Amino acid sequence: MIRPAITLRRKRMIVDVDTQRDFFLASGAKCIRNHRRVLVNIRRVMAWSRLKNVRMVSTVQGYDPSDREHPYCVKGTYGQEKISYTMRERNIRFAADGCTDLPRDIFKDYDQVILQKRCVDPCDEPRADRILSELAINDFIVFGAVAEDSVKATVLGLLARKKHVTVLTDATGSHDKAAAEIAFRQMEAKGAKLSDTKSLFGSTHLRLVGTCECDRCQGKVTKTSVA
């Protein structure tokens, strides 16, 4: 009998989309709006995933330095790296090399599979497409960035594969508020459930982000003093 490459008893899985410094730090090449609030919520989801030992698939964008259309998430740069607390200790990375190889029973040995992609839609990368299609999991919790491109493409890809998807809207960043709203409605119309970290994990007193050096994240600027 041929054993499937990916087997997993746990029912839920997190899909963490492009939580990279260029998108989430004030100093990043393409920082989202409200990065502080989104980072706080991502930190909570990550704490929960560690506590409950929920496995993760993480996507990261990676572009060559010569690629002028993508002056962000450039391979090997600080900005391309994932936010530190979105990393699990037992992780394995795969380059975007067009291959579909995956070790057997990968989630027995690893809590997190990090997949590099050269595009916003993970289904355009053969290996990411394979893992999202073949995982014997039905419930996916999705967050990350950017709502109006990568997150939307990931969610629609999962829905097309008949998966149940919950999108954590308050742990998802965007560049354009109106476009993000439209994207969330499109995901919902296709069957995704929109939720937030507060509904799933209760309210929090956590305020500090602990990864971004900007004054807001360091607690030096209060809301009322921001013009």
> Which residues bind to Zn ion, rule: CB under 5 A?
26, 212, 214, 217
Q: Shortest Cβ distance from residue 224 to Zn ion (Å)? A: 18
CB 26 within 8 A of CB 212: yes
CB 216 within 8 A of CB 210: no
**Residue 21 or residue 130: which is nearer to Zn ion going by CB?**
21
Q: Shortest Cβ distance from residue 33 to Zn ion (Å)? A: 12
Q: Shortest Cβ distance from residue 132 to Zn ion (Å)? A: 31
**Residue 38 or residue 167: which is nearer to Zn ion going by CB?**
38
CB 165 within 8 A of CB 159: yes
**Residue 204 or residue 218: which is nearer to Zn ion going by CB?**
218
Distance CA 78, CA 80 (A): 6
**Residue 44 or residue 117: which is nearer to Zn ion going by CB?**
44
Note the residue count of the chain.
Answer: 227
Q: Shortest Cβ distance from residue 140 to Zn ion (Å)? A: 28
**Residue 31 or residue 96: which is nearer to Zn ion going by CB?**
31
The β-bridge relationship of strands 91-94 and 56-61 is unpaired
Q: Shortest Cβ distance from residue 158 to Zn ion (Å)? A: 30
Q: Residue 177 belongs to what H/E stretch?
A: helix 177-189
CB atoms within 10 A of CB 36: 19
DSSP state of 186: H
**Residue 28 or residue 122: which is nearer to Zn ion going by CB?**
28
Quick one: tokens of 87? 């990393």
Q: Shortest Cβ distance from residue 214 to Zn ion (Å)? A: 3
Residue 157, Cβ density class (10 Å: 0-12 exposed, 13-18 middle, ≥19 buried): buried
